[in-house]
Structure 1
Amino acid sequence: MNNKKFNFKHIHLGGLLKARAEELDLESSFLCEFFGCENQDLVSMYDSQTLDTALILKWSKLLGYDFFRIYSAHLILYAPEVRKIESKSKKILEISFRKNIYTKEIIDFILEMLSTGQKSKGQIMQDYGIPNSTLHKWLDKYPNLK
Structure 2
Amino acid sequence: MQFNYKEIYIGKLIKDRVTELEMASERIVDFLQIDELELELLYSAKSLDSVMLLKCCKLLEYDFFRIYSHHLTLYTSAGNNNPKSVNGKLKSSLPSFKKSLYTPEIIEFIIEIIGSGEKSAAEVIKEYRIPKTTLHRWLRKHQKIDI
Q: TM-score range by the shorter chain?
A: 0.7 to 0.9
Q: What CA RMSD, in Å, does the superposition of the two structures yield over aligned residues?
A: 2.2
CA distance in 1 between partners of 2:122 and 2:36 (Å): 48
The corresponding residue for 1:111 is 111
Unaligned runs of 5+ in 1: 86-91
TM-score (norm 2): 0.83
**CA offset at residue 105 of structure 1?**
1.6
Residue correspondence of structure 1 range 60-99 to structure 2 within 5 A: 60-82=57-79, 84=81, 92-93=83-84, 99=99
Distance 1:104 1:8 in 2: 14
Work out the percentage of aligned pairs sharing the same amino acid: 40
Whether 1:128 aligns to 2:125 is no
Match of 2:12 among 3, 10, 15: 15
Contact 1:60 1:66 in 2 (8 A): yes
**Count of aligned positions:** 137
Partners of 2:10 and 2:45 within 8 A in 1? yes
Instruction: Specify every segment of 5 or more residues in structure 2 that has no aligned partner in the other structure, as ranges.
Output: 90-96
Q: Which amino acid aligns with 1:122?
A: A
Counterpart CA distance in 1 for 2:143 and 2:65 is: 28
Please state which structure has a larger fraction of its residues in strand. Answer: 1
